[in-house]
Chain A
Amino acid sequence: MSWKIWSLKKSPWVFHVNAGACNNCDIEIVDLLTPKFDVERFGVKLVGSPRHADALLVTGVGTRQAAKRVQEAYRQTPKPCVVFAIGACACGTGIFNTGYHVVGPIDKIIKEVDPNAIIAYVPGCPPKPEAMISGIVKALSAL
């Protein structure tokens, strides 16, 4: 394993992108940083700019308005990076499947920019923090 990948696994900084979520998944993401789960133990840090990030946590169905912004945020993220589709909506648009404003799911939107993007799916409405930690571990061990 090269040192780049090893250090990436030890300190994944995440940036949170809301692509039309109902805010439920977002609250659960913030849960990860609280004393009960404390993902800073594993070097995970929430950063303010996609340029500092190694992983994008995308929540929501991917609306027409948000899709362009998600693609731009992905372009602005230095590679190598991982995209997480957090929640049922992001994984497969969920109950909003036939909505007039939906262009998602997230993997389709990201693959328009980069067909080889690494995308991990964490289903649930909202996914439990334990499920997100498990998803992060699985995605990082697949790198």
Chain B
Amino acid sequence: MAAVYERDKRGKKMSEVFESLFWILIFPGFLFTAVFGLAASWIVRKVSALVQWRVGPPLYQPYVDVMKLLGKEILIPENAQISIFVGAPIVGLAGVLLLSTMLWRITIEPTRPFVGDIIVAIYLMVLPSLALILGSSASASPHAAVGTSREMKLVMSYELPLVLAFVVVIIKTAALTGQGQQLSLAAISRHTPVLSISGMLAFLVTLLCVQAKLGFVPFDIAESETEVAGGVMMEYSGALLALWKIIQAMMLVALPLFLVMVFLGGFGTAGWPLVGGISKYVLVLVLLILIKNTNPRVRIDQAMKFFWVYCGITLVVAVILATAGNYYGIGWL
């Protein structure tokens, strides 16, 4: 009897492990997010082409790009720190994989006790950028060094407004969510802080921070191909470059999804809420693409000034408005 019970428990544990592996590797995790993300990167290229009055690449283009890179030779620079150079994309992939799995899991099963809160999401979001900094600085290339220093400064400049914007969201939703639920993404994603002045300000600033996180123009300073020959990505080739492309594609899913969850009231899993969620995601994506296509690349000092001074002041105003609105019970403030 005891043996049967033991086996039962072990079986249950095994099935739980398999379930988690399935979650991480196949359904909302790696496979699904990568396929979805590559399709999103096709949308980026296609819409950019249409904006420039071109035809643009076919739908299978990002998949063929990744396939081709996987089949090519991997070159590693002579003076590179090989373990870090090769390990960095794997660390970045792990970060974005956890982030996207967590966000999808909260979307699909919001009632599950704990699958991560807003703080965990902020940490995981910075992991791909840190991995990029590590990997490119290990490549011993002067161009990559310039790119690394720019990426570092960019991370330092957008992290502050990003955290402040989430503070606004937490203040806005604190009264509406339950006790001890103020940081829970599942609880926050049931409200739409964007329908207020402070929430709108925070949303706009976060949109620009996401632009910088994705490395899109005007904040593609670290990767600028015409200036520093690909900067942080310069020395990567073959399968390692394919990994970076997949990471970027997955970020293109995870970050707009995070914006939708935090500001726009989340993603449904069936019926109209699902349609609404997809249209919110597409809205955020199209906003990002339009900002990308209508702006020139800024210098790193301009980017820092923009994020620290202009975005910082905007968010201080937003925090004050949100606190006042919360105190006097005015919802739209």
Assembled-state Cα–Cα distance A41/B143 (Å): 30
Q: Which of B163-171, B233-241, B281-289, B313-321 lies at the interface? A: B233-241
Contact of B230 (CB < 8 Å), options: A3, A35, A48, A78: A48
**CB atoms of A51 and B237 under 8 A apart:** yes
A10 nearest CB neighbor, chain B only:
B64
Contact of B238 (CB < 8 Å), options: A35, A47, A76, A78: A78
A139 at interface, CB cutoff 8 A: no
B58 at interface, CB cutoff 8 A: yes
Contact of A11 (CB < 8 Å), options: B65, B233, B236, B241: B65
Assembled-state Cα–Cα distance A47/B225 (Å): 7
Most buried by B among A3, A4, A7: A7
Interface code A2-17, partner B: CB below 8 Å = 1, 0 otherwise?
0110011011000000
Segment 1-41 of B: residues with Cβ below 8 Å from A = none
Q: Kindly list chain A residues whose C-beta atoms are within 8 Å of the C-beta of B53.
A: 35
**CB atoms of A41 and B58 under 8 A apart:** yes
B48 nearest CB neighbor, chain A only:
A40
Segment 219-246 of B: residues with Cβ below 8 Å from A = 224-226, 228-230, 233-238, 241
**CB atoms of A54 and B68 under 8 A apart:** yes
Assembled-state Cα–Cα distance A3/B63 (Å): 12
**CB atoms of B233 and A41 under 8 A apart:** no
Q: How many residues of chain A are within 8 Å of chain B by beta carbon?
A: 21
Q: How large is the interface on B (under 10, 10 to 19, 20 to 34, 35 or more residues)?
A: 20 to 34
Given contacts A7-B64, A7-B67, A10-B64, contact A40 B57 (CB under 8 A): yes
**CB atoms of B67 and A80 under 8 A apart:** no
**CB atoms of A51 and B235 under 8 A apart:** yes
A38 at interface, CB cutoff 8 A: yes
Contact of B68 (CB < 8 Å), options: A4, A35, A41, A51: A4
**CB atoms of B49 and A40 under 8 A apart:** yes
B108 at interface, CB cutoff 8 A: no
**CB atoms of A49 and B229 under 8 A apart:** yes
Segment 30-59 of A: residues with Cβ below 8 Å from B = 35, 38, 40-41, 43, 47-49, 51-52, 54
**CB atoms of B49 and A52 under 8 A apart:** no
B293 at interface, CB cutoff 8 A: no
Q: Which of B71-79, B109-117, B251-259 lies at the interface? A: B71-79
B225 nearest CB neighbor, chain A only:
A48
Assembled-state Cα–Cα distance A10/B67 (Å): 10
Assembled-state Cα–Cα distance A4/B73 (Å): 11
**CB atoms of B55 and A4 under 8 A apart:** no
Contact of A7 (CB < 8 Å), options: B49, B68, B74, B233: B68
Interface on chain B toward A: helix, strand, loop, or mixed SS?
A: loop
- Nearest Cβ in chain B — how far from A83, in angstroms? 16
**CB atoms of B67 and A35 under 8 A apart:** no
- Nearest Cβ in chain A — how far from B81, in angstroms? 17
B56 at interface, CB cutoff 8 A: yes
Assembled-state Cα–Cα distance A87/B180 (Å): 70
Most buried by B among A38, A43, A48: A48
Segment 134-162 of B: residues with Cβ below 8 Å from A = 143
**CB atoms of B55 and A48 under 8 A apart:** no
A68 at interface, CB cutoff 8 A: no
**CB atoms of B230 and A11 under 8 A apart:** no
**CB atoms of B56 and A41 under 8 A apart:** yes
**CB atoms of A4 and B61 under 8 A apart:** no
**CB atoms of A48 and B67 under 8 A apart:** no
**CB atoms of B236 and A51 under 8 A apart:** yes
Given contacts A41-B58, A76-B75, A80-B72, contact A48 B64 (CB under 8 A): no
A-B contact sample (12 more), CB < 8 A, given A49-B230, A51-B237: A8-B68, A8-B71, A11-B61, A40-B49, A41-B55, A47-B225, A48-B228, A51-B75, A51-B235, A51-B241, A78-B237, A80-B72
Q: Can you list 14 A-B pairs with a CB-CB distance of less than 8 A?
A: A3-B67, A4-B71, A10-B64, A35-B54, A41-B54, A41-B57, A43-B57, A47-B225, A48-B224, A48-B225, A48-B228, A49-B225, A51-B235, A51-B237
